[in-house]
């Protein structure tokens, strides 16, 4: 009797164990799918130029810095790197500077026009924004912003601003308004309450959203290639030299793009959902 | 400070910014597309459509989206299900799955170039296994099919993460009780997924698909890195009109076409996957 009763339980437990194994195997397989290509690029970047063009390839890096030093010393690369950092930093400052106040306003006030603003922000997501660099190229020539870091940063800010607004909105919404009200009753002005109570709580999230803005600009190719000629960013430089540059330059350049991105995503991993998840709510 | 004016003051910088750098260039690109030397004309569209490359450009872009997006949807659902079920290592898996989110499309193209190049890792693997005697040329100008496959793989690798993050966020909102109740009534994992998770996930699916489809029409740097000009796509041709052919009116017409396709598909998915207000969680 007891044996008969235990049998289905044992079968169910077996099925569950098999399911667990399947789950873990799938997870590992998917991780390999994501990581392996990056690993192979890194292998190339850490091999000497001869090894990169040789066949067959080794699946392990020789830790030769030949490719990387060739890349760094290649005419224009150092400047392109500097431009990328400059444009991304400006984008970061602009998008947080414009976006964070808007996010705060959306989370704390009810006012006519709120829906319209939200719609404007969400609408930017339905457009291939880099295309807007085409008409702006002409406008920038007229205003002297062409081929400058700030001009490109302005275009990258249209890409990053919606994210800055949405993530700061969800951040400030997560901080109870009662904290602010308590500060007011204790004699703080609105600004003091914000600076002394809300800002310290929101700062890590704001920093994450700033890092994300930096990443968006760091990675953008099309607008960068359209708007810069002399002051090319790293992506624009790599895109425009695709035709003539040797393989090891491409791979070292690719690694220079990827490695910072890995660190950025690691830094903002907790906030990824705030950035992408609330669009439909 | 007047309490009524404060939210508007806070929103003003972001709103002004979006008007100048989003709405205005959008109007400008539309204007440039339908004029030439100040006079209204549809010649820009005729020139664009008359180019011998145009039909193959449109079909490449649409075919790529049609193949890549469904595969990504399936993979993103698989990743999200794995993540939501994992007990140990959940955050590690989530971080790894999210890594491509921070990687530039140009870098993704270069990563897959390391694999598909003639002296690349795929050829090394094939020759080590004895499948081929000498390295195959995958990305030559005659190899449209393998270029297409390589671009599709790179796109699937790069942009599945965006959908995954949105879907993970959406799955987190589904009350656990529904699935538990279904389990009590004897529904297996597959049935629970089809009958409970998928229908309740519809708002997130809608967002994920819309975002992803728009990005699919923007495919540019991946193609440039892997195929050069051998696989023309809409965004690449727009770039060509602007730079190689120096005709910004036709470039604007081409940009407007991409915008029109994007908006068309956005409206289509908003309608097909619409969620009645009362059915939202």
Stated pTM of the model = 0.86
**Is A51 domain-assigned?**
no
Residue A133 and residue A11 share a domain: no
pLDDT at A189 over 60: yes
Task: Using CB atoms, pick whichever of B95, B115, B211 lies closest to residue A266.
Answer: B95
- Is residue B174 within 8 A of residue B197, CB to CB? The reply is yes
Last residue of a domain, one of A30, A45, A60: A45
Tens of pLDDT, residues B155-201:
999 989 889 988 888 888 888 888 888 888 888 888 888 888 888 88
Q: What is the pLDDT of residue B76?
A: 94
Q: What is the pLDDT of residue B135?
A: 79
Render B182-245 in DSSP notation, one character per residue. Answer: HHHTT--HHHHIIIIIHHHTHHHHHHHHHHHHHHHHT--HHHHHHHTTSS--HHHHHHHHHHTS
Tens of pLDDT, residues A19-50:
788 889 999 999 999 999 999 999 888 888 88
Cβ-defined contact of B255 to A131 (cutoff 8 Å): yes
Q: What is the pLDDT of residue A276?
A: 57
The stretch B59-73 carries a mean pLDDT of 94
Cβ-defined contact of B110 to A101 (cutoff 8 Å): no
Among A221-235, B213-227, B265-279, which stretch is predicted with the lowest mean pLDDT?
A: B265-279
Distance, CA of A79 to CA of A271 (rounded, Å): 32
Q: Which residues of chain B make contact with A116, given a CB cutoff of 8 A?
A: none
Tally of CB atoms within 10 A around A171: 24
Average pLDDT, chain A: 85
Six-digit token pair at A86? Answer: 């400059």
Percent of chain B with pLDDT over 90: 23
Residue A132 and residue A13 share a domain: no
Q: Which residues of chain A make contact with B111, given a CB cutoff of 8 A?
A: 37-38, 40-41, 254, 258
Range of the domain at A268: 71-280
Q: Which residues of chain B make contact with A134, given a CB cutoff of 8 A?
A: 29, 32, 238, 242, 248, 251-252, 255
Cβ-defined contact of A55 to B262 (cutoff 8 Å): no
- Is residue B65 within 8 A of residue B216, CB to CB? The reply is yes
Residue A113 and residue A214 share a domain: yes
Q: Which residues of chain B make contact with A23, given a CB cutoff of 8 A?
A: 82, 85-86
**Is A81 domain-assigned?**
yes
Cβ-defined contact of A37 to B111 (cutoff 8 Å): yes
Write the CA distances from A76 to A69, A103, A258, integer angstroms: 13, 39, 19
pLDDT at B94 over 90: no
pLDDT category at A278 given cuts 50, 70, 90 is very low
Distance, CA of B220 to CA of B116 (rounded, Å): 18
Task: Using CB atoms, pick whichever of A56, A128, A157 lies closest to residue B258.
Answer: A128
Distance, CA of A116 to CA of A34 (rounded, Å): 39
Residues near B242 by beta carbon (within 8 Å), at least 6 away in sequence: A134, A137, A226, B248, B251
For chain A, count helices (H), then strands (E). 14, 0
Task: Using CB atoms, pick whichever of A38, A109, A158 lies closest to residue B111.
Answer: A38
pLDDT at A122 over 80: no
- Distance from the Cα of A257 to chain B's closest Cα (Å) equals 6
**Is A187 domain-assigned?**
yes
**Is A200 domain-assigned?**
yes
Cβ-defined contact of B18 to A158 (cutoff 8 Å): yes
Write the CA distances from B68 to A34, A272, B154, B176, integer angstroms: 16, 23, 10, 31
* Total tally of structural domains belonging to chain A: 2
Distance, CA of B266 to CA of B268 (rounded, Å): 5
**Is A102 domain-assigned?**
yes
Q: Which residues of chain A make contact with B224, given a CB cutoff of 8 A?
A: 239, 242
Number of Cβ pairs < 8 A linking chain A and chain B: 277
Residue A35 and residue A81 share a domain: no
Cβ-defined contact of A30 to B79 (cutoff 8 Å): yes
Residue A112 and residue A24 share a domain: no
Q: Which residues of chain A make contact with B251, given a CB cutoff of 8 A?
A: 134
- Is residue A160 within 8 A of residue A131, CB to CB? The reply is no
- What fold characterizes domain B24-279? MetI-like fold (1.10.3720)
Residue A86 and residue A6 share a domain: no
For residue B61, the Cα-to-chain-centroid distance in whole angstroms is 11
Strand partners, B40: B35
Six-digit token pair at B260? Answer: 């029109």
Residue A175 and residue A274 share a domain: yes
pLDDT at A280 over 80: no
């Amino acid at each position: 009797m007891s044996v008969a009763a235990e049998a289905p339980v044992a079968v169910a437990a077996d099925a569950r164990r098999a399911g667990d194994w399947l789950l873990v195997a799938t997870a590992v397989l998917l991780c390999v799918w994501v990581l392996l290509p990056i690993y192979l690029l890194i292998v190339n970047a850490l091999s000497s130029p001869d090894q990169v063009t040789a066949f067959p390839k080794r699946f392990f890096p020789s830790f030769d810095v030949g490719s990387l030093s060739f890349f760094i010393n290649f005419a224009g690369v150092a400047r392109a790197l500097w431009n990328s950092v400059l444009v991304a930093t400006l984008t970061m400052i602009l998008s947080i500077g414009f976006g964070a106040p808007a996010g705060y306003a959306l989370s704390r006030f009810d006012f006519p026009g709120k829906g319209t603003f939200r719609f404007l922000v969400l609408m930017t997501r339905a457009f291939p924004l880099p295309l807007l660099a085409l008409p702006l190229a002409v406008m920038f020539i007229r205003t002297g912003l062409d081929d400058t870091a700030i001009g490109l940063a302005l275009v990258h800010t249209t890409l990053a601003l919606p994210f800055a607004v949405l993530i700061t909105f969800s951040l400030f919404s997560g901080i109870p308004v009662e904290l602010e009200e308590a500060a007011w009753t204790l004699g703080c002005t609105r600004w003091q309450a914000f600076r002394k109570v809300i800002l310290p709580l929101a700062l890590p999230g704001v920093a994450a959203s700033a890092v994300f803005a930096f990443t968006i600009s760091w990675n953008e190719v099309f607008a960068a290639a359209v708007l810069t000629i002399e002051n090319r960013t790293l992506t624009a430089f790599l895109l425009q030299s695709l035709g003539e540059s040797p393989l090891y330059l491409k791979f070292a350049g690719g690694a220079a793009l990827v490695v910072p991105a890995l660190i950025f995503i690691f830094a903002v991993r907790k906030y990824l959902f705030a950035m992408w998840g609330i669009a439909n709510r | 400070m007047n309490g009524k004016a404060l939210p508007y003051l806070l929103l003003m910088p972001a709103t002004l910014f979006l008007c100048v750098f989003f709405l205005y260039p959008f109007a400008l690109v539309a204007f440039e597309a339908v004029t030439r030397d100040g006079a209204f004309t549809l010649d820009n569209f005729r020139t664009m459509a008359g180019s011998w490359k145009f039909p193959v450009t449109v079909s490449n872009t649409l075919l790529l989206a049609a193949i890549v997006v469904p595969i990504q949807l399936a993979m993103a659902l698989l990743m999200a299900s794995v993540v939501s079920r994992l007990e140990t290592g959940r955050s590690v898996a989530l971080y790894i799955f999210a890594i491509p989110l921070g990687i530039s499309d140009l870098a993704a193209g270069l990563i897959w170039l390391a694999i598909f190049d003639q002296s690349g890792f795929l050829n090394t693997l094939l020759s080590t296994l004895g499948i081929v005697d000498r390295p195959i040329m995958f990305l030559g100008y005659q190899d449209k099919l393998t270029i297409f496959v390589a671009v599709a793989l790179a796109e699937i690798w790069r942009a599945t993460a965006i959908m995954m993050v949105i879907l993970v966020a959406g799955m987190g909102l589904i009350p656990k009780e529904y699935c538990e109740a279904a389990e009590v009534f004897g529904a297996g994992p597959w049935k629970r997924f089809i009958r409970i998770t998928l229908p309740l996930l519809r708002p997130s699916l809608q967002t994920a698909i819309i975002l992803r489809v728009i990005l699919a029409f923007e495919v540019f740097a991946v193609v440039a890195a892997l195929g050069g000009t051998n696989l023309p796509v809409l965004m690449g041709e727009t770039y060509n009109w602007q730079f190689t052919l120096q005709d910004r009116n036709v470039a604007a017409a081409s940009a407007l076409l991409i915008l029109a396709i994007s908006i068309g598909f956005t409206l289509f998915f908003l309608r097909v996957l619409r969620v009645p207000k009362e059915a939202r969680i």
